[in-house]
């Protein structure tokens, strides 16, 4: 896990250096805070547009809101498990291991599958006891006989 984080940090640092060289070459002389403002702002907006497009499509699907909720929660869980692993490395209160993060995510997935199964059983049972919809009458027609 530690090696993976170091590799990711190295890629980010190299990207950072390239961006600084390019902006300096263009004579922009941006500070580190300026770079964070622009780069994170642009990345955030690109992610927002992608998520917005996916959300518009997903919301029209059956169980679309549940799917969006699952994706948001899964994203949150990714951030949380890796934050905990990094915290353990910084504070020396536990072992920072990639496997710990993965097993934590599997825990969420297992509990979510149990939840989904319970909801599925509930929906199937409800469909058995649901009254069939009433037929709509055509306007102008009556069911009374004209004696």
d(CA 111, CA 105): 10
Tell me the C-alpha distance between 142 and 137, whole Å.
8
Q: What is the pLDDT of residues 10-56, one digit of tens each?
A: 888 888 889 889 999 999 988 888 888 999 999 999 999 999 999 99
CA nearest neighbour of 88 among 79, 76, 97, 77: 97
Quick: pLDDT tens for 69-96: 999 999 999 999 989 988 888 888 878 8
Residue 9 has pLDDT above 90, yes or no: no
| Contact present, 39 and 19 (Cβ < 8 Å) | yes
The predicted model scores a pTM of 0.65
> Taking 80 as the threshold, does the pLDDT of residue 114 lie above it?
yes
Distances from the Cα of 139 to the Cα of 7, 134, 143, angstroms: 71, 15, 11
Which tokens in the block code for residue 107? 């825990």
């Amino acid at each position: 896990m530690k090696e993976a984080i170091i590799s990711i940090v190295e890629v980010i640092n190299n990207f950072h250096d390239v961006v600084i060289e390019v902006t300096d070459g263009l004579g922009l002389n941006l500070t580190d805070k300026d770079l964070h403002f622009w780069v994170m702002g642009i990345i955030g907006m690109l992610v927002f547009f992608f998520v917005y497009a996916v959300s518009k499509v997903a919301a029209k699907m059956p169980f679309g809101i549940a799917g969006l909720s699952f994706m948001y929660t899964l994203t949150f869980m990714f951030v949380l498990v890796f934050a905990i692993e990094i915290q353990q490395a910084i504070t020396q209160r536990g072992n920072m291991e990639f496997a710990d993060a993965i097993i934590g995510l599997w825990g969420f997935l297992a509990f979510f599958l149990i939840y989904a199964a319970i909801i599925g059983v509930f929906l199937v049972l409800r469909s058995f006891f649901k009254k069939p919809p009433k037929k709509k009458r055509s306007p102008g027609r009556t069911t009374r006989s004209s004696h």
